[in-house]
């Protein structure tokens, strides 16, 4: 019965996405919903896009192993990213009326920076989308009682999400995200109340976790722990900012006010509801400690789904897996669309002169298809956990794209040469430590890469523009 409910819900959501596709007439509709989304839809798509597999499966498992200090990157860093984007970047980027984040780098610094940052952004999505596809395979395997293998589940999930994303673009993503946000919130709250009743109330779970030291968040005052804490926090807080999915939601907004405050509200809601799966996972530890102990040895990501299947009533199971699928689908569709649009607009389009809008729209759809195939292959062959895939995904954009973004918006003197220095200093420092550094370096590779990127931006900007400079028109620069 549970499997049939899952199938019916899946088909309905795909149908809603295909219905939304009727609104796509051009590339602007496909990429940023024609800048027509109202406040509630932008809030929903910000929340639903980020509330993915790692929140329901990855973060709770990491919390059980490491406590609150283990989830510094997500949800703390991730939520702060959205809030900071809304407060400091949404307005200036919205005013520029761009199609992709790569367009910002092109207008501010020139073609070379546009290409390098776009490639970094596209690569970063492999881990994020791969995590969602991996989770889809896991869910189909669990709800079918093993009759659908995880591999087949991954292929089914990726294929069906591709169908409405490739036709509906941002309109399909936004409309389905609205539906999925409702399911996520309702499902999480309902299953939370059910599980709370089973263990004796919220206070019982919180008290037990507190006594077990699970709420220890801040590092002790020694350099190693402080550096590790900062490195974990900035990975998603800063590395997620120069991302097309965040930029799309800003640009899809109907007004600048919506772009700012819907992004902030989406980040706040994400932070609040990310604690519900952690509460559920720790409740499972109280409810069935033997089950939790057994699954930690096999696959700790299965703790929450198994607890729901074995201890929750059918209604709660339906809502939980509906919420889980909603979380994964909304995140997967958005993260399939974002890199595909960026790659088409910022890499392929300049190589194809005289490309009409309809031809570009067709090309975006073809690239979305190809990217889906590639990321599915990556997910099938990846040995990382869902949480690790998401956390690692942002390191490349952190060391290559973050500093040029911040300086491009807030430092008028920043120039093309400075951006290129920032990109190369950050990238080579990160790679050097990853390849040749100690297994546990004093300064993590991505933190060292970020520091090097900042230094590169300062040096490159203050030096006379000679080696790496590129003509950028005054009109583009001032914009």
Handedness of CA 456, 462, 467, 471 (dihedral sign): positive
Q: Cα separation of 51 and 48, whole Å? A: 5
- What is the block-wise mean pLDDT of the chain (479 residues), using blocks of 10 residues? 80 85 89 91 90 81 89 92 96 94 95 95 84 84 85 89 87 85 84 88 92 91 90 91 91 96 96 92 88 79 83 83 79 85 93 90 94 88 67 84 97 95 97 87 92 97 74 46
List the beta bridge partners of residue 253.
37
Query: Which tens digit of pLDDT belongs to each residue from 282-326?
Result: 998 888 888 888 887 777 778 888 888 888 888 888 888 887 787
- At 450 the pLDDT is 97
Distance CA(285)–CA(391), nearest Å, equals 25
Q: Residues 34, 37, 38, CA angle at the centre, nearest 5°?
A: 150
Structure token digits, residue 56: 């329901």
The candidate with the shortest Cα–Cα distance to 5, out of 133, 176, 143, 180, is 143
Q: What pLDDT was estimated at residue 476?
A: 46
- Secondary-structure breakdown of the chain: helix, strand, coil percentages, each rounded to the nearest 5: 80, 0, 15
């Amino acid at each position: 019965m549970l499997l049939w409910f899952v199938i019916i819900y899946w088909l309905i959501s795909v149908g809603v996405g295909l219905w939304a596709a009727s609104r796509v007439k051009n590339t602007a509709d496909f990429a940023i919903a024609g800048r027509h989304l109202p406040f509630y839809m932008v809030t929903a798509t910000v929340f639903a896009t980020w509330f993915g597999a790692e929140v329901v499966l990855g973060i709770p498992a990491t919390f059980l192993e490491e406590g609150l200090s283990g989830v510094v990157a997500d949800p703390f860093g991730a939520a702060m990213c959205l809030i900071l984007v809304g407060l400091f970047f949404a307005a200036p980027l919205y005013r520029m009326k761009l199609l992709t984040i790569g367009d910002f780098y092109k207008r501010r610094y020139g073609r070379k920076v546009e290409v390098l940052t776009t490639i970094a952004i596209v690569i970063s999505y492999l881990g994020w989308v791969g995590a969602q596809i991996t989770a889809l395979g896991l869910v189909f395997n669990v709800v079918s009682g093993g009759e659908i293998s995880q591999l087949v589940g991954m292929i089914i999930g990726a294929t069906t999400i591709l169908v409405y994303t490739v036709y509906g673009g941002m309109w399909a993503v936004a409309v389905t995200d609205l539906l999925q946000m409702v399911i996520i919130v309702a499902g999480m709250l309902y299953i939370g109340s059910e599980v709370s009743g089973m263990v004796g109330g919220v206070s019982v779970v919180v008290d037990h976790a507190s006594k077990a030291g699970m709420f220890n968040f801040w590092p002790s005052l020694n350099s190693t722990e402080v550096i590790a804490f900062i490195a974990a926090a900035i990975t998603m807080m800063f590395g997620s900012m120069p991302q097309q999915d965040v930029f799309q939601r800003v640009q899809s907004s109907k007004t600048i006010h919506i772009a700012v405050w819907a992004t902030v509200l989406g980040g706040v809601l994400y932070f609040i509801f990310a604690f519900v799966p952690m509460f559920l996972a720790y409740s499972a530890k109280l409810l069935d400690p033997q089950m939790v102990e057994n699954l930690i040895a096999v696959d700790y990501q299965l703790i929450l789904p198994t607890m729901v299947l074995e201890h929750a009533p059918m209604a709660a199971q339906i809502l939980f897996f509906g919420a889980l699928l909603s979380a994964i689908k909304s995140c997967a569709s958005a993260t399939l669309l974002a890199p595909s649009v960026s790659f088409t607009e910022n890499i392929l389009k300049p190589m194809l002169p005289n490309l009409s809008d309809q031809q570009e729209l067709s090309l975006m759809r073809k690239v979305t298809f190809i990217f889906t195939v590639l990321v599915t292959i990556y997910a099938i062959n990846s040995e990382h956990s869902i949480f690790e895939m998401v956390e690692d995904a942002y390191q490349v954009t952190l060391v290559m794209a973050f500093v040029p973004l911040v300086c491009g918006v807030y430092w008028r003197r920043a120039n093309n040469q400075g951006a290129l220095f920032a990109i190369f200093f950050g990238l080579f420092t990160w790679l050097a430590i990853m390849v040749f550094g100690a297994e546990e370096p004093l300064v993590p590779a991505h933190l060292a890469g970020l520091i090097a990127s900042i230094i590169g931006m300062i040096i490159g900007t203050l030096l006379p523009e000679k080696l790496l400079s590129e003509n950028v028109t005054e009109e583009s620069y001032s914009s």
